[in-house]
Every structure is written in C-alpha cells, then in structure tokens.
Chains A and B, each alone.
Chain A
Amino acid sequence: MTSQDLPERVAVTPAAATMLVQLRAQHGPLMFHQSGGCCDGSSPMCYPDGEFLTGDADVHLGDLAVVPDGVADGVADGGEPFTVPVWMSKAQYEYWKHTHLTIDVVKGRGAGFSLETPEGVRFLIRSRVLTDEEYGALAAAGVV
C-alpha cells in the first residue's frame, strides 16, 4: 500500500483554504503545527513554512491540498495549487491518533504567533473519530 492509498488524517474546510490562499499570498509557503496545553492550546498554529523547527519529536500528519479559485478576499493568489504540511508533536499524536482532523476557520482573536490572527479570524480544529476501517488501514501501514 502506498501512502496515497492511506486514509486521510487531516483535511481543510473551503473557508480555511480560502484563508490559506490569502496568507500564502502575504507570507509565502505555509505550515501548521497543532498545539496543545492551555490558553490557545489545541489550536492549529499557522506559520511561514520552516519558521517552526520540526524534528524527531514530531509527526507529519499530511499535506493540505489547496486549489485557489482565483481571488481570495481581494488578494490575487496566482491560481497555482499548493500544499500546506500539518505537524503535531509525536507525544500528543499518541493521544490524538484515533481521530481525523479538519482545519476550519472561525471569527475570533487568536493568539500565539499564528499568521491569521491579524485578519480577525482563528483556525480551529474540528475532529471526528476514525472509522474502524480507517484506523485499521493506518495501523496496518504502521503509521498509528
């Protein structure tokens, strides 16, 4: 089984994808690292790709595929599809691995150094429990 065949672990809503198009136009290639802990913990933090150093302590959950639809919030996006890698600390993933994550965006006043905060919005994780089939496939591939 190739990685393309594996069940998806992370996805993005259309509204969040639109925000990613805008942020990419402003900041260049992007990444997410899923936070934990207090205050704004459990929020997906969006940074310029490479700003946050990932390493052996992290898991790469997947790449969000974003296909721009022309213009997002008045920002020309160039129209090229792009991907945004999503990371989480390995220790945290042990407690999250039975769930599928979708990155959404809501109105708000986020914190941390996430890029969307000045836009008056906040990325938010929505979760569902993986089906037995999905989890079984991931387990068989040794990724959970």
Chain B
Amino acid sequence: MTVYAAPGTEGSVATYRERYDHWIGGEFRKPVNGRYFENVTPVTGKVFTEVARGDADDIEAALDAAHKAAPAWGRTSATERAIILNKIADRMEENLEKIAVAESWENGKPVRETLAADIPLAIDHFRYFAGAIRAQEGTISQIDENTVAYHFHEPLGVVGQIIPWNFPILMAVWKLAPALAAGNAVVIKPAEQTPASILFLMEIIADLLPPGVVNIVNGFGVEAGKPLASSSRIRKIAFTGETTTGRLIMQYAAQNIIPVTLELGGKSPNIFFDDVAAERDAYYSKALEGFTMFALNQGEVCTCPSRALIADEIYDSFLGDAIERTKLVKQGNPLDTTTMIGAQASNDQLEKILSYIEIGKGEGAEVLLGGHRAELDGDLAGGFYVAPTIFEGKNSMRIFQEEIFGPVVAVTSFSGFDDAIATANDTLYGLGAGVWSRNTMTAYRAGRAIQAGRVWTNNYHAYPAAAAFGGYKGSGVGRENHLMMLDHYQQTKNLLVSYSPDELGFF
C-alpha cells in the first residue's frame, strides 16, 4: 500500500506548474486574450493550477502551426513516425508513476486505476499504432492486362480532436496515436474539467515530436471547442461526449463537408444468465466482480455497465451476493493505492448524479445500496464523492435509459433469453454490453443479438488495443482502438494507370 503525496506538496512525484499556457508550435504560448481559468482537483475541491482560456484567435494560431507542420510530417516515412510513437511510449513508461498521479489529481480517479490501466493502456496504444502503420499496405487492382489501380494511403492533413474529461490522457491518446501514425497534424481541445494533465504529459514528450504536429488549446467549449469544430481549416473532427454536442459537431462538419467520428456514450446492459450461479466457484466470483464494474472510474465511463439484467431463476441470490460484493468497494483518497473508487470529476457532475438518484426514487425505483453523497473526512471533505448506488426498478424508468455517469447501477430481472435481449436492446444507445454465461452457445447468441459495438463476454471493462471500440445506434460513428481507425484519419489516393501504348479509338 502506498499513499502518494498530493501534487504541490512535499514529496509528491508529480508537480504541476502554477499556470499553463496553450501548447502551440512546440512551445507554451500565452492566450491571445490573456485570460486564464482556475482548475480544481475534485479530490479536495480546491484550485491547483490555472489554465489558458482560449478562444477563436488561439485556435487560429494552433491551426497555423499545424498547417505549417503538416506537409513535412505527412511526408515522413511510416518507419520514422513509428519510431517516434515508440519513443513516446518508452518515455511515458519511464514516467508512468508521475503521469498516473497527475491524472488522478486532476480527474479524481483512483491512482490504483491510472497506474494499472489508464496510463499503461495509453502507452500500449502508441505502440500498437506504431506497429499498425508499419504493417499497413496499400492495395492494387489489376483492372485489365494493361491497366492498374493503385491505392495509396495519404494523411488528411490537419485534424481537430475534442477530448472528454473521464479519461483525460487515455482518450486523448486513443485519438492522437492513430492520427499521428497516419501522418496528420493535430489540434486538440481538452475538456475544461481536465485541461492540465494532457499538458503535463506533453511536457514530458515534447522533444520527441516536431513543432506544430501536436497543438493543444484549452478553454471552454463555446469559446474554443466550437471555433475548432466549425473551422474550415480542419479535414476531420473527432469528438467523444454527448448526443446534442455530437449532432452540433456533425452540423458544423456538414457545412465544411468533412468527416466526423463520434463516440457518444451508452446505457450498457450487463446480462447475467441463470447458469452463472450453477456453482460458487472462481467464475461466480468473477461474475460478481463484473457486476461491480459499474463503480469503475466512479461510473464515468461511456460503457459503464449501468443496467444489470439478472435471470429470474437466480435474481434474489445473485443480487444479494452482488450487493455484498459492492459493499467491499473501498472509497477514499484517490492517491491511496488501496482506494477503488475516488471522486466524481466535477461539482456539476456530482449534482447531476444526485438529481438522477432523486428521479429514480421519484419513479419508484428502490435503493438497495448507497443513494447518497459520500461524506469523507479532512481534506477530502470538499471533494465530490458519491457512494456506490444500486437501484432496483424497471427498464422503462429514466435511470435505466440515461447515462448517469456516476457509480449507479439500475437492476432488473428477465425471463428467458428473448426477454433478456429485448430488454438489453430497449435503449437509444449501443456502445457496450456484458454477457455472462458458462454456456458458450448462449453467450455467443446473446453477443450477436445485442445491438452494441462491443459485447464483453465473461469479462467487462477491458480496453486492449486491437479490439475495435465504437457504437451502434445513438452511440456514434467510427471505431477507435483498432487499426481500422487509421481509415478515419486517411485519404485514399487512387492512381489509375494505363500501361498500354494504344489509343482507345473513341475519337
């Protein structure tokens, strides 16, 4: 067990600057308007640094830098880019502990998670795309004896990326690694809740990238995100967030006729078939852990298994065991490596979760566990903590239909396979799902029948590179975390070549 010292205090492995400017053209650059905003750690609710409050002028400056860098970067060989991505991964690995602590401090998530998942996954993501771009080949089609169609991959040029606050570094890397591998220059707008940890990382890896290839402009969505998303100077926009902003970004993209990739969340069902409880063995314990995964990252995951569907036959006993298992989830100081659930990322997130708990009660759902803000002691008293909460209710209730983005699971029962699938698919979204069964035929049939892009089968919340991640239905467009994401950051150039000396005889 380790309790890391808070950044800014004696003995901390991570030290934030007192102020962060934008990262443009390979250097920190002051915001044009000279404004900054305060950045609060949700661990204590106190300000720990201030960050440039950018606007359209800063976005233009970042686009200038990106456009200056893009042609040369786009001409580098795949080998050169792969080497740089691998060096970034190595540098992150050398600094894993401090990056993990920095991210925990900004986001409120337990360092247990950033050390074991967020940052190692980000590191591996760079390595995966370093390998993927080396292995990528164009194609040729022989049209006829003397005519050949060559297909080359070309970078898009300059792309925009808007990053969410729930995994400030990992979600940035999910977007950054394929874009860089494909040879694009990037302008990133981090979430205003978590603007600093990506800059903390950038300082660590800055010397490895040519100036202007990665540019980071912070600020509020309407002031900095909108000018980026609506700019005619980007060739693609990527966004992770919610549906209304997703639609607005598509609307701006339509005006510029550029592609978008969107990841807009879900309301993921986690289905427990009756054979799960056939024995009280290691698998049963694994399934119970799978249930408690709703509390991972304080529930602030687009694929939070926030609807648990349990077979009638085992409903009471399994749910009883699941409640006991959830009680073991340790909440506390995020910088303590034994803490499993930390703070919600912001005050408004906390307020939103509490409002959902109220509507759940109002709709007649029963609180089986939690259902309130968690009051912690000392410095943590000002932080934004919610007790893991289990509701029992019906799938038509709003707590079953909206992504609360908190450690809240809504539980209901099902009667047979068809009922399970119908309930699972009765949602606007289709990002993630969980299927738990000892019977591989049941599990396979369920996985194929669920309208979701990712169906975890006898596991949950694993995010390895090489497993495509993206949504069906209202959950978005595109697939991240897989080499197919390269397609979203590349143009196809077709050279249609005739090797015949003979005229067509047409004219």
Q: Give me the interface of B with A, judged by CB distance under 8 Å.
A: 40, 53, 164-166, 191-193, 220-223, 225-226, 229, 240-248, 251, 263-266, 300-302, 346-349, 351-352, 355-356, 358-359, 362-363, 396, 398, 401-405, 428-429, 474-475
Query: Is there contact, CB below 8 Å, between B193 and A127?
Result: no
Contacts A38-B302, A45-B245 given; indicate if A112 touches B221 (C-beta within 8 A): yes
Contacts A106-B351, A113-B221 given; indicate if A38 touches B266 (C-beta within 8 A): yes
Query: Is there contact, CB below 8 Å, between B164 and A39?
Result: yes
Tell me the complex Cα distance, A117–B224, Å.
12
The 8 A CB mask of A66-93 against B (1 = contact, 0 = none) is 0000000000000000000000010110
Question: Which of chain B's residues have a CB closer than 8 A to the CB of A92?
Answer: 243, 428
The chain B residue sitting closest to A128, CB to CB, is: B362
Contacts A112-B245, A124-B352, A127-B398 given; indicate if A37 touches B222 (C-beta within 8 A): no
A33 at the interface (CB under 8 A from B): yes
Query: Is there contact, CB below 8 Å, between B403 and A95?
Result: no
Query: Is there contact, CB below 8 Å, between A95 and B428?
Result: yes
Which one of A36, A106, A109 contacts B242 once the chains associate, using CB atoms below 8 Å? Answer: A36
Query: Is there contact, CB below 8 Å, between A126 and B428?
Result: no
Contacts A92-B428, A127-B355, A127-B359 given; indicate if A35 touches B221 (C-beta within 8 A): no
Query: Is there contact, CB below 8 Å, between A35 and B244?
Result: yes
Could you name 8 residue pairs across A and B whose Cβ atoms are closer than 8 Å?
A41-B265, A42-B352, A43-B242, A52-B248, A108-B348, A111-B165, A112-B244, A115-B222
Distance in Å: Cβ of A104 to nearest Cβ of chain B = 8
Question: Which of chain A's residues have a CB closer than 8 A to the CB of B363?
Answer: 99, 129
Within 8 A of B (CB), among A26-41: 33-41
Interface residues on A, range: 35 or more
Query: Is there contact, CB below 8 Å, between B355 and A126?
Result: yes
The chain B residue sitting closest to A107, CB to CB, is: B347
Which one of B251, B396, B475 contacts A53 once the chains associate, using CB atoms below 8 Å? Answer: B251
A122 at the interface (CB under 8 A from B): yes
Tell me the complex Cα distance, A92–B247, Å.
14
Query: Is there contact, CB below 8 Å, between B346 and A39?
Result: no
Question: Which of chain B's residues have a CB closer than 8 A to the CB of A117?
Answer: 192, 220-222
Q: Give me the interface of A with B, judged by CB distance under 8 Å.
A: 33-43, 45, 47, 51-53, 89, 91-92, 95-96, 99, 106-115, 117-118, 122, 124-129
Query: Is there contact, CB below 8 Å, between A91 and B474?
Result: yes
Question: Which of chain B's residues have a CB closer than 8 A to the CB of A42?
Answer: 242, 352, 356, 402-405
Tell me the complex Cα distance, A99–B360, Å.
11
Question: Which of chain A's residues have a CB closer than 8 A to the CB of B347?
Answer: 106-109
Question: Which of chain A's residues have a CB closer than 8 A to the CB of B244?
Answer: 33-36, 45, 52, 112
Tell me the complex Cα distance, A48–B356, Å.
27
Question: Which of chain B's residues have a CB closer than 8 A to the CB of A110?
Answer: 192, 221, 348
Question: Which of chain A's residues have a CB closer than 8 A to the CB of B358?
Answer: 126-127
Tell me the complex Cα distance, A52–B132, Å.
38
Question: Which of chain B's residues have a CB closer than 8 A to the CB of A106?
Answer: 347-348, 351
Query: Is there contact, CB below 8 Å, between B348 and A38?
Result: no
Tell me the complex Cα distance, A42–B403, Å.
8
Query: Is there contact, CB below 8 Å, between B251 and A37?
Result: no
Contacts A117-B220, A124-B355 given; indicate if A36 touches B241 (C-beta within 8 A): no
Tell me the complex Cα distance, A113–B249, Å.
10
Contacts A37-B475, A109-B193 given; indicate if A52 touches B251 (C-beta within 8 A): yes
Question: Which of chain B's residues have a CB closer than 8 A to the CB of A53?
Answer: 251
Tell me the complex Cα distance, A25–B70, Å.
41
Contacts A107-B347, A107-B348, A125-B355 given; indicate if A38 touches B242 (C-beta within 8 A): yes
Query: Would you list the 6 A-B pairs with minimal beta carbon distance, nearest first?
Result: A38-B265, A108-B348, A35-B244, A41-B242, A37-B265, A122-B348
Query: Is there contact, CB below 8 Å, between B222 and A114?
Result: yes
Query: Is there contact, CB below 8 Å, between A99 and B359?
Result: yes
Tell me the complex Cα distance, A39–B265, Å.
8
Question: Which of chain B's residues have a CB closer than 8 A to the CB of A51?
Answer: 248
Query: Is there contact, CB below 8 Å, between A41 and B243?
Result: yes
Contacts A52-B248, A53-B251, A118-B223 given; indicate if A37 touches B348 (C-beta within 8 A): no
Inter-chain pairs besides A89-B243, A91-B474, A112-B244, 6 sampled, C-beta below 8 Å: A37-B403, A52-B244, A52-B247, A114-B222, A126-B355, A129-B362
Query: Is there contact, CB below 8 Å, between A35 and B359?
Result: no
Query: Is there contact, CB below 8 Å, between A96 and B403?
Result: no
